[in-house]
């Protein structure tokens, strides 16, 4: 009788075990593994693609061969570069404000400020292009979604196209066309301020 | 002969027990999970409309025996690609691509109650309590609820903007529709 009871017990447990699903099995049924997060986004800025694309220049180095581990490392580098981009952006904006004040005085006859204007101008140009390079050559994010309609990121990028052109024009026109130089500088300051201040986390 | 008789009875009992369980799958186009977050300057929401899940329901007892919900962190959309990309960095999405929730024994005869379950987020599993509303009929199962997540408890570094970190609180709400699986 004991033997029979044991037999029934073993049978029932085994039979139930065939159907019982534990937590892991349930999640396995959801087939999450089939859709892993891709290592690179579909869309990238061309400068990022040159350096960090699937066949980018950085991929020649063993340290940056395309893998989960290297991408995790790259994302940390990216965050540091973007933090620096942000801080340098504020310093550049401060430099532009100073240039506006000094440039205005120079335009009204304070020629003793010419050297100061040139020095701050060179510094602002240097920080501007350093900041731009940090954004343009940072490793790409994991995703780069196309958002419909307005977004602060879109405004930031549109303004970047304008202020980059205005920055080049401001420097090219520095020695010759005073009024054109001033117009380019104001365009630069306006578009740059909008780009910096409109950017949202 | 007697042994065989007992075995058959045990077999029938087991089959009967299993027959009462029915699996339900989340209908993705009718389900969503939303998180809300705050920064000193503004607040925002991220929505995931690609939620996956299974509920094993004991029809006779009117009880969800097991409920497993999973969502990819990369599927949350806050309408700001830069912010979503930043979120994936702090969540280390390549190592921890999904957020999962698992619970057992939910009485479907009640329409609302506070339940406990295991939330796995950023590779950390914690037991959480949440308000769960549900309705159950022949067509399917509808569950909704909300709960709070403290990112720092899941070893998630808080992202910052202008050197100010976001609030250490995510308010999560969900609305899930589940239908019987074939």
Domains identified in chain B and CATH numbers: 21-180 (2.40.128.110)
The band of A136, judged by pLDDT with boundaries at 50, 70 and 90, is very high
> How far apart are alpha carbons A176 and A39 in whole angstroms?
49
**pLDDT given for residue B163 in this prediction:** 78
> How far apart are alpha carbons B160 and B164 in whole angstroms?
5
**pLDDT given for residue A26 in this prediction:** 82
- Of residues A15 and A189, more confidence is placed in A189
Please indicate if any CB of chain A lies within 8 Å of the CB of B10.
Answer: yes
**pLDDT given for residue B11 in this prediction:** 52
> What is the model's pTM?
0.79
Q: Where are the domains of chain A?
A: 46-198
pLDDT digits (tens, 9 = 90+) for A27-76: 888 776 556 778 999 999 999 999 999 999 999 998 899 999 999 999 99
**pLDDT given for residue B53 in this prediction:** 93
- Position A15 pLDDT exceeds 70: no
**pLDDT given for residue A14 in this prediction:** 47
pLDDT digits (tens, 9 = 90+) for A19-33: 446 888 888 887 765
> Dihedral of CA A103/A106/A110/A112: which sign?
positive
**pLDDT given for residue B159 in this prediction:** 87
Q: Which of B66, B80, B82 sits opposite A26 (nearest CB)?
A: B66
**pLDDT given for residue A148 in this prediction:** 81
Q: Which residue stretches of chain B have pLDDT < 50? A: none
Q: Is A145–B95 a contact, with Cβ atoms under 8 angstroms apart? A: no
**pLDDT given for residue A19 in this prediction:** 45
Mean pLDDT calculated for residue range A152-169: 90
> How far apart are alpha carbons B139 and A60 in whole angstroms?
56
> By C-alpha distance, which of A96, A155, A159, A105 is closest to A125?
A96
The pairing of strands B43-48 and B52-58 is unpaired
Strand-pairing partners, residue B64, are: B57, B106
Neighbour-count burial of B15, counting CB atoms closer than 10 A to its CB (0-12 exposed, 13-18 middle, 19+ buried): exposed
Q: Which of B42, B77, B98 sits opposite A32 (nearest CB)?
A: B98
By the 8 A CB rule, do A109 and A120 touch? no
**pLDDT given for residue A22 in this prediction:** 80
Q: Is A30–B82 a contact, with Cβ atoms under 8 angstroms apart? A: no
Mean pLDDT calculated for residue range A146-151: 80
**pLDDT given for residue B14 in this prediction:** 53
- Position A130 pLDDT exceeds 70: yes
Mean pLDDT calculated for residue range A115-141: 94
* Distance, first Cα to last Cα, chain B: 38
**pLDDT given for residue B110 in this prediction:** 87
Please indicate if any CB of chain A lies within 8 Å of the CB of B49.
Answer: no
pLDDT digits (tens, 9 = 90+) for B65-113: 999 999 999 999 998 888 999 999 999 999 999 999 999 988 888 889 9
The band of A179, judged by pLDDT with boundaries at 50, 70 and 90, is confident
Q: How many CA atoms lie within 13 A of B157 on its CB side?
A: 11
A 125-154 residues with CB < 8 A to B: 141-147, 151-153
Mean pLDDT, chain A, integer: 85
Q: Which of B11, B85, B159 sits opposite A142 (nearest CB)?
A: B85
- Position A12 pLDDT exceeds 70: no
Q: Is A39–B94 a contact, with Cβ atoms under 8 angstroms apart? A: yes
- Position A16 pLDDT exceeds 50: no
**pLDDT given for residue A10 in this prediction:** 56
- Position A17 pLDDT exceeds 50: no
Q: How far is B83 from chain A (nearest CA, A)?
A: 6
Chain A: residue nearest B26 by CA? A30
């Amino acid at each position: 009788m004991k033997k029979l009871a044991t037999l029934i017990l073993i049978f029932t447990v085994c039979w139930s075990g065939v159907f019982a699903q534990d937590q892991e099995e349930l999640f396995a049924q959801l087939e999450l593994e089939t859709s892993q997060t891709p290592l690179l986004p579909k869309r990238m800025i061309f400068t990022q693609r040159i350096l960090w694309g699937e066949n980018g220049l950085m991929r020649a180095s063993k340290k940056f061969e395309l893998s989960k581990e290297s991408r995790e490392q790259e994302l940390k580098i990216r965050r540091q570069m973007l933090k620096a981009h942000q801080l340098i952006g504020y310093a550049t904006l401060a430099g532009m404000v100073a240039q506006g004040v000094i440039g205005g005085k120079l335009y009204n006859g304070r020629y003793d400020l010419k050297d100061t204007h040139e020095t701050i101008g060179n510094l602002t140009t240097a920080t501007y292009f350093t900041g731009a390079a940090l954004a343009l050559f940072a490793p790409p994010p994991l995703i780069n979604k196309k958002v419909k309609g307005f977004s602060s990121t879109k405004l930031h990028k549109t303004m970047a196209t304008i202020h980059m052109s205005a920055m080049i024009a401001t420097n090219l026109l520095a020695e010759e066309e005073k009024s054109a130089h001033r117009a380019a500088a104001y365009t630069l300051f306006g578009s740059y301020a909008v780009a910096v201040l409109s950017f949202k986390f | 002969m007697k042994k065989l008789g007992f075995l058959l009875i045990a077999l029938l009992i087991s089959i009967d027990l299993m027959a009462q369980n029915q699996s339900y799958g989340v209908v993705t186009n009718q389900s969503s999970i939303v998180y809300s977050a705050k920064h000193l300057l503004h607040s925002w929401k991220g929505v995931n409309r690609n939620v996956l899940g299974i509920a094993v329901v004991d029809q006779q007892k009117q009880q969800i025996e097991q409920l497993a919900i999973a969502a990819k962190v990369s599927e949350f959309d806050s309408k700001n690609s830069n912010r979503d990309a930043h979120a994936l960095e702090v969540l280390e999405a390549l190592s921890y691509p999904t957020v999962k929730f698992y619970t057992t024994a939910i009485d479907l005869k009640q329409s609302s109650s506070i339940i406990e379950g295991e939330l796995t987020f950023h590779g950390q599993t914690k037991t959480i309590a949440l308000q769960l509303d549900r309705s159950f009929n022949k067509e399917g199962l509808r569950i909704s609820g909300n709960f709070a997540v403290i990112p720092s408890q899941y070893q998630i570094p808080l992202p910052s903007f202008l050197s100010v970190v976001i609030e250490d609180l995510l308010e999560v709400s969900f609305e899930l529709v589940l239908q019987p699986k074939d």
